[in-house]
Amino acid sequence: MGFLKNIVRPDDSPLKSYKDFWKWFGDNERVFYKAIKEQGDVETNFFRKLSPKLNELMEGFWYEVGMCDNNTAELIITADGVIKNIVFVEELIDAAPKINGWKFTALKPALDIKDVNIEMAGYKFTRENLHFYLNEQANYPDEIDISVVHDDCVEENKSPIASGVYIFLDNYLGELDFAMVIDNLRIAERSEVSQKLIPIEKLGAYLKWRQSEFIEKYGDSRHDTENDEYSTLSAFHEDDGSPLIAVINTDLLNWDNKPSHPWILQIELPYKAGIGNGMPDDNTRLLLDEIENDITSELKDIEGYLNIGRQTTKNVREIYFACIDFRKPSKVLQKIQKKFENQFAVSYDIYKDKYWRSFNRFNPEL
């Protein structure tokens, strides 16, 4: 199926409900369908109308559209690999009505590798010229770390080759699995490889096996933080001497089952009111604590959301959680953003770090 892609990142606009979006789409779907089926002025009659409307829901929705058969147009809503937006893409598609002649899909689906043939920057990416090998590390046995080799890759073209490999894997594995399963991905030249290369078409089966082994090993792991010990750490920035204060759950940092909670939620709370050295004044500190308490009340340790601690410095407080999944934290933080939007510009990110190496700086034993 040939897909047309929007390449304009949507602007920041007010939110509306999924129901309102689908009502608008239904009112216009015949015009959209005709433009796609007849390959008319798709830019004017579809892209320019759809992009701002998606943006009214939230920033970060992307899409692809095409005819999946002679009579059915398919609209794929994608998060473009941004983990924290995946759940909202899924929710939007779950709310879609049945519309004759349309198929609505959340996230780019996995394709048969025989159908994945990418051409970009003058290079082809197929199952014939792509291979992979494993990078195994004894200290991090649960990480899936692979290198992909393209037959034509050399140092001078590694950047465009890397872009093509990412697009190939996104289509071959599907957007969700590509974002969730691989921990580290590297691009390598044939000349630097000593081990036997594995055909890229075997990667899907390998990843499914590794994921099933991981779930069997860690599926029921939970940690109760009620009696954990916390440490207060302090330091000064070399550039200006401003203080940094962190309160960290040291028991968690020494926990053996870190990979069971591989998703790191990092929240940033910038503030203006301070006491002159980048630290919050009393009123601001109380508000910052209130936000953290609100988050913790919804992201409970026994349910798989562990509050690792917080760091305060240079008019920014950062709060850290290790999570069993990324969907609930995304929804909780979106709600927090709305609740406190008149007081703080709350921002957050979610990324995978199975061994919590992001927090090695807080662990004196490392």
pTM: 0.91
Q: 235 and 358 in one domain?
A: yes
Of 175, 24, 32, residue with least CA distance to 105? 175
Residue 8: the pLDDT is 39
CB atoms within 10 A of CB 312: 21
Whether the CB-CB separation of 133 and 196 falls below 8 Å is answered with yes
Q: State how beta strands 316-323 and 263-270 pair.
A: antiparallel
Last residue of a domain, one of 187, 218, 249: 218
Query: Per-residue pLDDT averaged across 109-130, rounded?
Result: 96
Residues 101 and 89: their CA atoms lie apart, in Å, by 21
Segment 321-353, tens digit of pLDDT: 999 999 999 999 999 999 999 999 999 999 999
Query: 27 with 93, same domain?
Result: yes
Q: Is there a single domain that holds both residue 213 and residue 94?
A: no
Closest to 306 measured CA to CA, from 348, 270, 255, 357:
255
Last residue of a domain, one of 83, 106, 129: 106
Q: Both tokens of residue 138?
A: 């004894």
Cα–Cα distance, 195 to 193 (Å, whole number): 6
- CA 253/CA 365 separation, integer angstroms: 10
Q: What is the DSSP letter of 180?
A: H
Residue 202's pLDDT is 98
Strands (E), 216-276: 230-236, 243-249, 263-270
The number of domains in the chain is 3
pLDDT digits (tens, 9 = 90+) for 263-293: 999 999 999 877 778 999 999 999 999 999 9
Instruction: Pick the closest to residue 353 from 310, 309, 320, 331 (CA basis).
Output: 320
135 and 45 within one domain: no
Range of the domain at 19: 4-106
Confidence of residue 5 (pLDDT cuts 50, 70, 90): low
pLDDT in tens, 72-105: 999 999 999 999 999 999 999 999 999 999 999 9
Residues 100 and 117 in one domain: no
